[in-house]
Structure 1
Amino acid sequence: MKPNKLFFLLFASGFILFVNAQRFDKVEIKATQLTEKVYMLQGAGGNIGLSVGNKEIFIIDDQFAPLSQKILDAIEKISDKPLTFLVNTHFHGDHTGGNENMAKAGATIIAHENVKKRLKGIQRDGTYKSKETIPVITFNDKLNITINDEDVAVFHVSNAHTDGDSILYFTQSNVLHTGDTYFNGRYPYIDLKSGGSINGYIEAVKRAMILINEDTKIIPGHGQASNLTEYKSFLNMLESLRDRIKNAIDLGKSEEEIIADSSITEDYDELGYGTGFINSERIRLTIYKSLTSN
């Protein structure tokens, strides 16, 4: 690599770290106890799941690296037991950014094999992730973990938010962690460039819904802790918008016409679904592109 290019990459990396540190200074980690053993942690980025037992701590996702110490401090207030395993629900940085720090704290990282492939690839700044960031245990379809005297089902859902999404179900606690296959009360981000699709997303929700009941506590990828009623409403929103946009495509409407047609999402916009990261125009575009891609 040429010296000037190397200098630029090092400078850019240092600048990004500085900006991130400033960005996360005021973030507080909020812990919510859902059951005797399972907690949800919120800060900045994806919601974290936590299973706490007499001997160990099991964690799901880890947000951004600058928040790792705050997350570890919040965990320590709940339990002084060691971290043993960490599951990444997918590869995005707001769910995996703390991997290296959590590995150094003792966690063995588990993820779907596509997550490992994507984390091993070249990053946006031209660098590669450290080896501590990469999952050391991977699976293809499903994985069963017994931890803290509880069976946890981990299963892959294909081409939903990405191509490597995992959903976890705590069988005794009756808690579901959806990763980013569920944004509570918001339009979801469907990462089409990373294998996501609207139909796969809908199927992921339907598959998870088979496992749960009215008493299930749901940890969404983003938003507040949820339940079956809200989850059903989210599924109805996805299916309604998919069907409306498919109908518009069948009628010969163009991409531009569909993006501009606010009536497609109007009823859900009024409920506040478009106030998050994905607004109404972007969800219409995303669904259109997903339905018309090969």
Structure 2
Amino acid sequence: MKKIILIALFAVTSFSYSQGRFDNVKIKIEPVSNNIYMLQGAGGNIGISVGDDGVFMIDDQFAPLSEKIIAAIKTLSDNPVKFLVNTHFHGDHSGGNANFEAAGTMIVAHDNVRKRLAANEKTANAGLPVITFSDDATFYMNGNDIFITHVHNAHTDGDALVYFVQSNVLHTGDTYFHGRFKFPYIDITNGGSLAGDIEAAKKGLLIINNSTKIIPGHGPIASKADYQKYHDMLVGIYENVTNAIKDGKTEEEIAHMEALTSMYYSDKETEKDFITGEKIRRAAYKSILAEKEMKH
């Protein structure tokens, strides 16, 4: 009996924590360009387009924040959220899907996002994308041609870039981090690869120009120069780890070779980050080896 009570207490405590950790989160609204805004709270950056055609939304953070996010959007527009695009399937970008679906929002994402959400019992029964695409899609709302393009095997296997043509704003999802989020997160388990993330940045850079404002997956608004610097870092890490592999270095050796990444950030600078120097070197090693195996 005592064991059952302890298990129940743990379950209640865990649930309370999962809800309570969002209690003090405030949704910050930042104007980006014309009728485009960035919302920050906890999780990935949200992109919003408002206008007479309704609200077009990119990503939705965690489910317990939906009420706060909706309240923030209401300060920008009385119109409903008509469409919600998930840049990928991770919960800090798609966790509120079921709540927005219940409010009448149409959810849009790459084919693989729906597949991954449908395969998870926690997300399979509500909030699945009802419109999916394999490569590209275009929406016409609020005076913008909104171009959505899939980038293959980058952060995950279902990433999308979203470009507001007339407003000249690009939302990259987690294919690009900016600011205190230094090294990329390559989710190899879910189809991500370093080579693919490089190609995603290359594609994004081809779409934009020097005046474009960029909403990254995490971090503050960025410029094309910031984005270029990120791309160049990815290329440098890829080349350095590839050369170390050619020299016969093992994963364990590469993981501790700070010199492979220190020209960008030292291990000390990233020791408290989600992706440390060691983690990016391990991810690069695994990604490059998997790439080589696929070619053979």
Q: Common fold, TM-score beyond 0.5?
A: yes
Q: Are 1:111 and 2:130 counterparts?
A: no
Paired with 1:157 and 1:182, the residues of 2 have a C-alpha distance of: 12
- Classify the secondary structure of the residue corresponding to 1:78: coil
Per the alignment, residue 288 of structure 2 pairs with 291
Number of corresponding residues: 282
Measured after TM superposition, the shift of residue 80 of structure 1 is: 1.2
Superposition map of 1:129-144 within 5 A: 129-144=123-138
Letter of the 1:162 partner, please give it. Answer: T
Per the alignment, residue 229 of structure 2 pairs with 233
Superposition map of 1:269-280 within 5 A: 269-270=265-266, 272=269, 275-280=272-277
Measured after TM superposition, the shift of residue 217 of structure 1 is: 0.4
Paired with 2:270 and 2:219, the residues of 1 have a C-alpha distance of: 11
TM-score (normalizing by structure 1): 0.91
Per the alignment, residue 208 of structure 2 pairs with 212
Measured after TM superposition, the shift of residue 40 of structure 1 is: 0.4
Contact 1:100 1:130 in 2 (8 A): no
Per the alignment, residue 5 of structure 1 pairs with none
- Classify the secondary structure of the residue corresponding to 1:269: coil
Contact 1:37 1:51 in 2 (8 A): yes
Per the alignment, residue 262 of structure 1 pairs with 258
Measured after TM superposition, the shift of residue 106 of structure 1 is: 2.2
Q: Please list every run of 5 or more consecutive structure 2 residues that lacks an aligned counterpart in the other structure.
A: 1-6
Over the matched positions of the two proteins, sequence identity in percent amounts to 49
Distance 1:205 1:28, change over 3 A: same
Q: Please list every run of 5 or more consecutive structure 1 residues that lacks an aligned counterpart in the other structure.
A: 1-7
- Classify the secondary structure of the residue corresponding to 2:176: strand
Per the alignment, residue 4 of structure 2 pairs with none
Q: Are 1:177 and 2:171 counterparts?
A: yes
Paired with 2:218 and 2:94, the residues of 1 have a C-alpha distance of: 14
Contact 1:59 1:87 in 2 (8 A): yes
Per the alignment, residue 46 of structure 1 pairs with 44
- Classify the secondary structure of the residue corresponding to 1:189: coil
Contact 1:37 1:53 in 2 (8 A): yes
Paired with 1:204 and 1:274, the residues of 2 have a C-alpha distance of: 26
Paired with 1:12 and 1:216, the residues of 2 have a C-alpha distance of: 48
Distance 1:119 1:265, change over 3 A: same
Q: Are 1:149 and 2:143 counterparts?
A: yes
Superposition map of 1:75-94 within 5 A: 75-94=73-92
Q: Are 1:191 and 2:187 counterparts?
A: yes
TM-score (normalizing by structure 2): 0.91
Runs of 4+ that moved beyond 4 A: 10-16, 270-275
2:197 to 195, 201, 211: 201
Measured after TM superposition, the shift of residue 130 of structure 1 is: 5.0
